[in-house]
């Protein structure tokens, strides 16, 4: 048998490498900006396109899908060709994949600041972009499987199993979570409502971390760590156990994002159990990575790329230990909704994803340009600046989260909340937020140094666009004997199907009872659908990203019911497409914002909201909330109101034909009532006069006030019946 | 486990079955892993180093 000559496509690797660095700088710059907004509102820059609620999703999407996404593709395209001893299946598909993905990122960068969002975390992009993501992801899978099928190496190395599991599971997550009913070209409503939407969203959100930020990087670790250390992985056997345990267990853990919420207890407990079990495979993977350096730790001293690897894998170990700890209910009670979670996420993102990406870039670029790195000193500088950045990010955020979480729960000696004013707890952590922004500047500086170093490296070499290699064709002889896993390692399609079955089991078990067993979502007869004006106000709340800072989920703690009112019930959210529970309390919970009955805690009249939106500091001194003056000057778009009600009706919200036919009339009637109330108020008159605003009943602020006054309002109708429920 | 999820009719069947499936997969993979010959394991772990070109670790 003769060896065959072929070449690797390095140009596509280069393209993804450039995109990784460019989007990394963009995404992190936005990160520094939003970090600064959280101690100084001036950094919202006074316009709607750069306010926190709109560009926080831009930051998360840019760093997850643009920076990390391109890094995954760079690492996969480089390693896949070499592990399979073949060129990518199709250069055309590679190009479509690359440019399609970049166009999706550009679409996100345009739509998110415009307030075009579904509001679902890490899945904010609207339905046409969702479809584009699906198509491009299929192109990626097609190209990957085409390459696998024409390979010259019979056995699939462990890294490729992780790539396959990533492909199929991300596809599943994206499609299931993106079921939405379009209202117009760039507006849709989630197919699911309330507690079911929350369950699907956090099944997606958790597993986006698992199968976009973890499994592909584990695959990359299994390739690049041995290459950098110049020795095989510590235990191939452990990698097998690691793979199957991890993909089976991860998919179950999503409900730990919804502890103490209206999600049924059994689902919460399930999430906790599987989160704890997850420590084992996670640490198995971490130890397998680190122990690869056994007997070669001296290399770490001299090779900054290995330093990145070691700190990155250690960060993975820390984050995957902390995650299960945070899923313990007693810990979660303090940490949830605070900066602690933000710190946890960033240890994983900055350490694990960021540092592994940098190690790959420093390995790949000199290889494909057939040269050596321009400056090892700059690599070392990047490493130390980046490490310092991670530490300065995490430590103040841990302190901030713990401090604020405890302050929310603190009672004084006479049994009253020690800090009844939410802002008192905010003021205590502003210095920590400043440290966070500074750490972001440090980390970003390191990335810029890396970019300069890589450009200089590329300039001193020349791109080997088609790298020659040779290998024997794959033997067609069937191997007999051997064990079960040896069999599946040679069969990519079966491996894919088996992986899919494994991940579907966890999702199906969590979803089926929630969707099929009616008792999981209680019915509260007093809860009524949103009026047309309230629905429009809700869409403004979504557009401005208010759910990025305000929760609508009062947990059953005394500290929360005393502060906000009665705890939240699943039956309150049955008309919420999408759910808006939020995951972070930078500001107070708004779940009972419209409750005016006995023991009302946080209700504010219309003129207070008007003044607060125009300039939050006038009603709430020291607040870090952005101002929303455009809500007072912009007209409410009523052209889609009827279609919105029709869409909601399709989704099961009990609007009748009369409601839909009279939608605009009813909207204007309710708006006029709020307007008449507002125009009598001196504070409103003063703002309108001083700023020469043409204020009337058709302004967006009126719809938003209507929505805020709807929150938790209906629950007051039957306080006794509600109180009986567990 | 039954006590926690008992109030959701039928859910315990889903969960217990799934946990048994996981246990089965875990045990089978573990047994296979221990039965794997060292030669096979060594060969598989060397796959990243099989390129004939000079893909070494210099930077």
Domain span(s) for CATH 1.10.760.10 in chain A: 532-724
Which pair of tokens denotes residue A381?
Answer: 């500088």
Determine whether the interchain pair A266/B55 forms a contact, defined as Cβ–Cβ distance below 8 Å. no
Determine whether the interchain pair A470/B30 forms a contact, defined as Cβ–Cβ distance below 8 Å. no
Whether A83 and chain B come into contact, CB under 8 Å, resolves to yes
> In B, which residues are within 8 Å of A507 by CB distance?
none
> Considering only alpha carbons, which residue of chain A is nearest residue B42?
A236
Buried b (16+ CB within 10 A) or exposed e, A636-659: bebeebbebbbbbbebebebeeeb
Angle at alpha carbon of residue A485, lines to A482 and A489, rounded to 5°: 105
CATH fold label, A4-463+499-510 = Cytochrome C Oxidase; Chain A (1.20.210)
**Any residues with CB less than 8 A from the CB of A284 and at least 6 apart, and which?**
A238, A241, A242, A245
Round to whole Å and give the CA distance between A45 and A166: 39
Given a cut of 50, whether residue A30 has pLDDT beyond it is: yes
Angle at alpha carbon of residue A6, lines to A2 and A9, rounded to 5°: 160
Which residue has better confidence, A597 or A581?
A581
Determine whether the interchain pair A232/B45 forms a contact, defined as Cβ–Cβ distance below 8 Å. yes
Round to whole Å and give the CA distance between A190 and A250: 24
Any idea which residue has 């709340």 for tokens? A541
* Cross-strand pairs, A190: A180
Round to whole Å and give the CA distance between A154 and A474: 6
Given a cut of 60, whether residue A506 has pLDDT beyond it is: yes
Which residue has better confidence, A466 or A717?
A466
Determine whether the interchain pair A153/B50 forms a contact, defined as Cβ–Cβ distance below 8 Å. yes
Q: Mean pLDDT in chain A?
A: 93
Angle at alpha carbon of residue A320, lines to A318 and A325, rounded to 5°: 95
Interface test with A, best of B24, B36, B47 (most A CBs within 10 A): B47
DSSP character string of A438-462: HHHHHHHHHHHHHHHHHHHHHHHS-
Given a cut of 50, whether residue A719 has pLDDT beyond it is: no
pLDDT score at A499: 81
Whether B53 and chain A come into contact, CB under 8 Å, resolves to yes
CATH code of the region A532-724: 1.10.760.10
Whether A484 and chain B come into contact, CB under 8 Å, resolves to yes
Given a cut of 80, whether residue B52 has pLDDT beyond it is: no
Whether B16 and chain A come into contact, CB under 8 Å, resolves to no
* Cross-strand pairs, A26: none
Round to whole Å and give the CA distance between A143 and A191: 31
Count the alpha carbons within 13 Å of A378 in the hemisphere toward its beta carbon. Answer: 18
Please classify residue A209 by burial: count the beta carbons closer than 10 Å to its beta carbon, then call 0-12 exposed, 13-18 middle and 19+ buried. Answer: buried
Whether B22 and chain A come into contact, CB under 8 Å, resolves to yes
A12: closest CA of chain B, how far (Å): 18
Whether B47 and chain A come into contact, CB under 8 Å, resolves to yes
Interface test with B, best of A7, A163, A360, A485 (most B CBs within 10 A): A485
pLDDT score at A521: 64
pLDDT score at B29: 81
Q: How many helices (H) and strands (E) does chain A have?
A: 32, 4
* Cross-strand pairs, A182: A188
Do residues A283 and A238 touch, judged by C-beta distance below 8 A?
no
pLDDT score at B34: 80
pLDDT score at A175: 94
pLDDT score at B1: 34
Q: How far is the CA of A405 from the CAs of A13, A37, A425, A430, A595, in angstroms?
A: 45, 21, 9, 14, 25
Nearest to A568 by CA among A605, A530, A524, A536: A524
pLDDT score at A268: 83
Nearest to B54 by CA among A267, A355, A82: A82
Determine whether the interchain pair A230/B15 forms a contact, defined as Cβ–Cβ distance below 8 Å. no
pLDDT score at A269: 83
Do residues A179 and A123 touch, judged by C-beta distance below 8 A?
no
Mean pLDDT of A498-515: 75
B26: closest CA of chain A, how far (Å): 7
Do residues A657 and A663 touch, judged by C-beta distance below 8 A?
no
> Considering only alpha carbons, which residue of chain B is nearest residue A155?
B44
Which pair of tokens denotes residue A151?
Answer: 């390979």
Domain span(s) for CATH 1.20.210.10 in chain A: 4-463+499-510
Q: How does pLDDT run across A328-381, given as a tens digit for each residue?
A: 999 999 999 999 999 999 999 999 999 999 999 999 999 999 999 999 999 999
pLDDT score at A467: 96
Whether B2 and chain A come into contact, CB under 8 Å, resolves to no
Determine whether the interchain pair A467/B44 forms a contact, defined as Cβ–Cβ distance below 8 Å. no
Residue A474: pLDDT band (50, 70, 90) is confident
> In A, which residues are within 8 Å of B40 by CB distance?
482, 486
Residue B39: pLDDT band (50, 70, 90) is confident
Which residues 378-417 of A are in CB contact (within 8 Å) with B?
A: none
pLDDT score at A721: 46
Q: Where are the alpha helices (DSSP H) in A565-652?
A: 606-614, 616-619, 630-633, 641-650
Which residues 261-300 of A are in CB contact (within 8 Å) with B?
A: 264-266, 269-270
């Amino acid at each position: 048998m003769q060896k065959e000559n072929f070449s690797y496509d390095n140009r596509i690797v280069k393209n993804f490498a450039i995109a990784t660095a460019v989007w990394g700088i963009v995404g992190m710059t936005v990160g520094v900006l939003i970090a600064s907004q959280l101690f100084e509102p001036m950094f919202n820059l006074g316009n709607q396109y750069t306010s926190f609620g709109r560009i926080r999703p831009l930051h998360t999407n840019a760093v997850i899908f643009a920076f990390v996404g391109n890094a995954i593709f760079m690492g996969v395209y480089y390693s896949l060709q070499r592990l399979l001893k073949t060129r990518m299946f199709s250069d055309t598909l590679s190009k479509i994949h690359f440019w399609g993905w970049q166009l999706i990122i550009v679409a996100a960068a345009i739509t998110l600041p415009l307030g075009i969002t579904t509001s679902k975390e890490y899945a904010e992009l609207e339905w046409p972009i969702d479809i584009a993501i699906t198509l491009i992801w299929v192109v990626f899978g097609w190209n990957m499987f085409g390459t696998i099928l024409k390979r010259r190496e019979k056995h699939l190395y462990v890294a490729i199993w992780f790539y396959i599991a990533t492909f199929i599971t991300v596809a599943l997550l994206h499609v299931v979570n993106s079921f939405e009913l379009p209202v117009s070209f760039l507006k849709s409503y989630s197919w699911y409502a309330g507690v079911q939407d929350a369950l699907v969203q956090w099944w997606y959100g958790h597993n986006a971390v698992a199968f976009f930020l973890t499994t592909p990087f584990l695959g990359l670790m299994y390739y690049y760590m041995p290459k950098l250390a110049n020795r095989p992985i510590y235990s191939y056997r452990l990698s097998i156990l690691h793979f199957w345990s991890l993909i089976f267990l991860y998919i179950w853990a999503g409900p730990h994002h919804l502890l103490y919420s209206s999600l049924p207890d059994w689902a919460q407990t399930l999430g906790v159990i599987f989160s704890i079990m997850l420590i084992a495979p996670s640490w198995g993977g971490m130890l397998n990575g680190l122990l690869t350096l056994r007997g070669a730790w001296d290399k770490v001293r001299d090779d900054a790329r290995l330093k990145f690897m070691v700190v990155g894998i250690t960060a993975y170990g820390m984050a995957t230990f902390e995650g299960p700890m945070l899923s313990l209910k007693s810990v979660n009670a303090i940490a949830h909704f605070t900066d602690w979670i933000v710190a946890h996420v960033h240890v994983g993102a900055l350490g694990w994803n960021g540092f592994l990406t940098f190690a790959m870039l420093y390995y790949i670029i000199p290889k494909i340009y057939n040269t050596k790195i321009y400056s090892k000193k700059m690599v070392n500088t990047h490493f130390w600046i980046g490490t310092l950045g991670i530490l300065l990010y995490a430590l103040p955020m841990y302190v901030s989260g713990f401090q604020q979480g405890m302050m929310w729960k603190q009672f004084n000696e006479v049994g009253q909340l020690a800090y009844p004013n939410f802002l008192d707890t905010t003021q205590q952590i502003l210095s920590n937020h400043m440290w966070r922004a500074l750490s972001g500047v440090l980390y970003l500086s390191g990335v810029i140094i890396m970019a300069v170093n890589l450009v200089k490296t590329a300039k001193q070499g020349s791109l080997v666009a088609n790298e020659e290699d040779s290998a024997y064709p794959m033997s067609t002889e069937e191997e007999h004997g051997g064990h079960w896993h040896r069999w599946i390692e040679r069969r990519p399609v079966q491996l894919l199907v088996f992986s899919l079955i494994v991940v579907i089991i966890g999702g199906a078990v969590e979803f089926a009872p929630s969707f099929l067993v009616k008792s999981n979502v209680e019915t509260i007869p007093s809860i009524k659908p949103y009026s047309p004006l309230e629905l429009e106000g809700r869409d403004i709340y979504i557009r401005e990203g208010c759910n990025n800072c305000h929760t609508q989920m009062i947990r059953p703690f005394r500290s929360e019911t005393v502060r906000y009112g009665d705890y939240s019930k699943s039956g309150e959210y049955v008309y919420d497409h999408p759910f808006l529970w939020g995951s972070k309390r930078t500001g107070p919970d708004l779940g009972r914002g419209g409750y005016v009955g006995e023991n009302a805690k946080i209700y504010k009249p219309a003129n207070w909201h008007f003044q607060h939106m125009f300039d939050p500091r006038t009603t709430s001194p020291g607040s870090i909330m952005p101002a929303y003056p455009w809500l007072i000057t912009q007209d409410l778009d009523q052209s889609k109101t009827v279609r919105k009600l029709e869409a909601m009706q399709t989704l099961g919200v009990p609007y009748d034909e009369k409601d839909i036919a009279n939608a605009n009339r009813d909207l204007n009637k309710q708006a006029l009532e709020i307007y008449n109330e507002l125009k009598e108020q001196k504070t409103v008159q003063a703002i309108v006069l001083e700023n020469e605003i043409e204020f009337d009943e058709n302004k967006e602020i009126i719809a938003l006030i209507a929505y805020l006054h709807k929150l938790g309002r209906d629950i007051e109708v039957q306080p006794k019946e509600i109180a009986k429920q567990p | 486990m039954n006590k926690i999820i008992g109030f959701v009719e039928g859910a315990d069947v889903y969960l217990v079955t799934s946990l048994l499936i996981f246990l089965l997969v875990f045990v089978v993979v573990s047994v296979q892993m221990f039965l794997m010959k060292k030669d096979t394991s060594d060969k598989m772990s060397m796959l990243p180093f099989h390129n004939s070109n000079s893909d070494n670790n210099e930077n």
